[in-house]
């Protein structure tokens, strides 16, 4: 099953970030899986805003690196000592590993696992390029390729009829969106929720808030198409933040108080500040978005320090992979969650440049790269 020799120099095609803003589809040689790693035949990999920033080189990724930070596929080969999966397993390749043993995992904060965040030497090399240099994989995934070389602790086998393109979203958008509602905010039934930004993340938050029994679900996005989608998946009101002060608009819908929970899925620091201020005193704001590395978020003191507001991070929805992914997959399968309304656009590996520009210009809600057969 391990077959180190068989694995040597497996040719494949991959989208490699070779410098800031340069994303090239190349023929590369996948290295044999190192101990504890596995090879996964890629099924579908989302192209989200994180990937736009990664390919622009503004989010700390060092070239050359194969992009694609969450994915799904079928296990094709096990490296030495890889445990927990079998060849042929259909797996979600998660954006955040979960080793179960590091400082963070043993404290229950698997979303901060050291396998992803504490790598002084950077991510390990996974493939050799034609010029002889070695490439790493973004987020330790590298899903814009026919094969992925990943840590066995970063995948979750799933037994479901949910199609590849939807399952691929479970590694990032679905878990971050739903985890923000269920794991981080822990929305109390009947309470009012604002969702700031209605890309795919926001649309999963709206669906999560609906499932959690929220009272009002107020969705904010400047794009009318996205507001329409938010209404279709359960928002009770939609607002254009460009029309008037979004904080005032939300307050006017909530008797002047504001919402109990604001879930931010927009990115800009201004939207995050507005999210915080649209909660009532004692309310909770969950932040998921990021601008390029180095951006700062400034908040007024009194509404936080004196007025009891809580601001929390939702890195990947504070996900517990083996608990959350199967249950979210089941909810997608039985229809409690609807992926058809989220708006998935498929692209081949060769169309990755198009996927990137579509994501940047917000022409797609979520693009998904399907590398397909060689």
Please give the residue ranges that form the binding site for Zn ion (CB under 5 A): 48, 50, 99, 102, 105, 113, 172
Q: How far is the CB of 109 from Zn ion (least distance, A)?
A: 9
**Residues whose CB is less than 8 angstroms from the CB of residue 302 and which lie 6 or more positions away in sequence, other chains included:** none
**Residues whose CB is less than 8 angstroms from the CB of residue 311 and which lie 6 or more positions away in sequence, other chains included:** 276, 284, 285, 287, 299, 304
Pick the closer one to Zn ion by CB: 204 or 261: 204
Put residue 66 in one of left, alpha, beta given phi > 0 → left and psi -120 to 50 → alpha. beta
Pick the closer one to Zn ion by CB: 120 or 255: 120
DSSP-assigned letter for residue 168: G
Q: How far is the CB of 133 from Zn ion (least distance, A)?
A: 26
- Distance (Å) of CA 315 to CA 109, 116, 365: 10, 12, 20
Pick the closer one to Zn ion by CB: 201 or 329: 201
Q: How far is the CB of 39 from Zn ion (least distance, A)?
A: 22
Q: How far is the CB of 124 from Zn ion (least distance, A)?
A: 16
Q: How far is the CB of 228 from Zn ion (least distance, A)?
A: 23
Pick the closer one to Zn ion by CB: 15 or 250: 15
Strand partners, 262: 194, 285
The CB density around residue 44, as the number of other CB atoms within 10 Å, is 23
Query: Smallest Cα–Cα separation from 180: which of 157, 163, 203?
Result: 203
Q: How far is the CB of 46 from Zn ion (least distance, A)?
A: 6
The CB density around residue 157, as the number of other CB atoms within 10 Å, is 16
Q: How far is the CB of 98 from Zn ion (least distance, A)?
A: 6
For 251-272, letters b (16+ CB in 10 Å) and e give bebbeeebbbbbbbbbbbbebb
Paired tokens of 13 = 């095609």
CB 4 within 8 A of CB 114: no
Query: Smallest Cα–Cα separation from 70: which of 139, 17, 118?
Result: 139
Q: How far is the CB of 267 from Zn ion (least distance, A)?
A: 12
Pick the closer one to Zn ion by CB: 237 or 358: 358
Taking the alpha carbons at both ends of the chain, their separation in whole angstroms is 23
Pick the closer one to Zn ion by CB: 50 or 254: 50
Pick the closer one to Zn ion by CB: 145 or 172: 172
Pick the closer one to Zn ion by CB: 34 or 99: 99
């Amino acid at each position: 099953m391990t077959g180190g020799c068989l694995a040597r120099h497996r040719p494949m095609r991959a989208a490699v970030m070779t410098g800031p803003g340069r994303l090239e589809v190349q023929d590369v040689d996948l290295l044999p899986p190192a101990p504890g790693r596995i090879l996964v035949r890629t099924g579908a990999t989302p192209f989200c805003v994180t990937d736009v920033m990664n390919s622009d080189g503004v989010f700390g990724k060092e070239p050359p690196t194969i992009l694609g930070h969450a994915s799904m596929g079928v296990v094709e080969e096990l490296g030495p000592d890889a445990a927990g999966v079998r060849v042929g397993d259909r797996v979600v390749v998660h954006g955040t590993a979960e080793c179960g043993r590091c400082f963070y995992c043993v404290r229950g904060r698997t979303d901060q696992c050291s396998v992803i965040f504490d790598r002084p030497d950077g991510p390990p090399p996974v493939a050799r390029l034609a010029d002889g240099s070695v490439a790493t994989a973004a987020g330790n995934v590298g899903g814009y390729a026919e094969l992925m070389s990943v840590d066995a602790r970063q995948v979750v086998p799933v037994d479901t009829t949910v199609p590849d393109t939807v399952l691929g979203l479970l590694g990032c958008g679905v878990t971050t969106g739903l985890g923000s509602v269920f794991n981080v905010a822990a929305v109390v039934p009947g309470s009012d929720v604002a969702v700031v930004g209605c890309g795919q993340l926001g649309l999963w938050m709206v669906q999560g808030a609906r499932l959690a029994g929220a009272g009002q679900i107020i969705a904010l996005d400047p794009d009318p198409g996205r507001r329409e989608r938010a209404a279709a998946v359960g928002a009770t009101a939609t607002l254009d933040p460009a029309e008037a002060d979004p904080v005032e608009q939300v307050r006017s819908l909530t008797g002047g108080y504001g919402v109990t929970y604001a879930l931010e899925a927009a990115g800009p620091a201004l939207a995050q500040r507005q999210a915080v201020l649209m909660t009532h005193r004692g309310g909770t704001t969950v932040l998921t978005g990021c601008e390029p590395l180095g951006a700062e978020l400034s908040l007024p003191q009194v509404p936080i320090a004196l007025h009891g507001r809580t601001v929390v991070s939702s890195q990947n929805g504070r996900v517990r992979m083996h608990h959350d992914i199967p249950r979210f997959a089941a909810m997608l399968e039985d229809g409690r969650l609807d992926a058809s309304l989220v708006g998935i656009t498929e692209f081949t590996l060769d169309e990755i440049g198009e996927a990137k520009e579509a994501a940047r210009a917000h022409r797609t809600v979520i693009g998904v790269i399907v590398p397909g057969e060689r």
